[in-house]
Structure 1
Amino acid sequence: MTPEELRAVQTPFKERYRSDPASALATLSATGTLDVARLQCVVDGAGGGRVIAGVHPRAGGDGAGKCAGDMLLEALVGCAGVTLAAVSTAMNLGVTAGRLSAEGDLDFRGTLGVSRDAPIGFTAIRVSFELETDAGEAQLQKLGELTERYCVVAQSLNAPVSISIRRVGPPGQVGNG
């Protein structure tokens, strides 16, 4: 996609969101079905895909399901990759190919309740990218900064996000009754 094609696609959205900020608000969702016997949750993905989430082998899982921590890193790579592609296109950097990776530091003592002093969740996450491009170092630095700035998943992890986990519906019922 060329920078002009990207602008042509995005300009109507930007104009609408500027004139009607409420039209930019959206609620995304995901659903899953528990398999308690296997310690798994079948997550219904967007577009009809399904992913089986399970306990990580370092926390007692059998490896049959994907660890949600791995899925979080995958979501980050996907979001950063799409953002990087759009930003590099807008900057006209001539990126022809690339690869992203994410790695995160996790102390399993926290999630297993072994130590109250051990954090639960990632303590650091690093995303890196390699690109085939003739862009200069300053342009690539700016590309990294803008990708981090506009990546929804990265910003959601960097900023305090309100999360609540609660039961809905009467006990003993699943779904609509």
Structure 2
Amino acid sequence: MDVTALRAMQAPLKDAYRTDPDAGIVTLKAKGELDDQHIACKVETGRAIALAGLHPATGGSGAELCSGDMLLEALVACAGVTLKAVATALEIDLKKGVVHAEGDLDFRGTLGVAKDAPVGFKAIRLSFDVETDAPQEKLDTLLKLTERYCVVFQTLNVKPELSAVLKVG
């Protein structure tokens, strides 16, 4: 896809969201069902069922997906799509690209072993290996705009309002 096709595809959406800001608000949903035999949750991905379970560092077998890995995978997916869209908009020819995300967890926090150990990632690092002839100035803009417009990156960067409800019935 080139910049003209990208702009043509997005222009009506941008116009609609400018005219009616509420039209730009979409509620994304995810659903999972607890596994009745294992400590696991079956997550509907839209294409298949992903079985998430305990990470081996918390006693899991490693046979199921780890939700921490899935979070990093979501970041890689979002950042990769965003990088590609921004590169297209900036007319940067990316011949090749690989997105990497890695994060540091202290499982003592998750297992309640140490109260001073955080539950969750202490640090997440996102990197891009690209093959391109674009000048450094354009690449700096590419990274800046990818960070700015990547939904998952910004959600992790700016904590959203969170709530949890337990319904019995």
Q: Which amino acid aligns with 1:105?
A: D
Which segment drifts farther, 10-19 or 36-45? Answer: 36-45
Q: Displacement, 1:160?
A: 1.6
Q: Which amino acid aligns with 1:19?
A: T
1:29 corresponds in structure 2 to: 29
1:53 corresponds in structure 2 to: 52
SS at match of 2:37: helix
Equivalences for 1:4-153 in 2 at 5 Å? 4-46=4-46, 48-153=47-152
Distance 2:105 2:141 in 1: 29
Distance 2:55 2:36 in 1: 15
SS at match of 1:97: strand
Per-residue CA deviations over 1:49-68 (Å, capped at 9, x if unaligned) read 21110100011101111110
**Count of aligned pairs:** 169
Residue ranges of structure 1 left out of the alignment (5+ in a row): 171-177
Residue ranges of structure 2 left out of the alignment (5+ in a row): none
Distance 2:168 2:26 in 1: 24
Q: State TM-score, norm by structure 2.
A: 0.97
Q: Displacement, 1:97?
A: 1.8
SS at match of 1:96: strand
SS at match of 1:61: coil
Q: Displacement, 1:83?
A: 0.3
SS at match of 1:161: coil
Q: Which amino acid aligns with 2:103?
A: G
Q: State TM-score, norm by structure 1.
A: 0.92
Which segment drifts farther, 132-141 or 60-69? Answer: 132-141
Q: Displacement, 1:36?
A: 4.5
Detail structure 1 runs of 4+ shifted over 4 Å in the superposition.
Answer: none
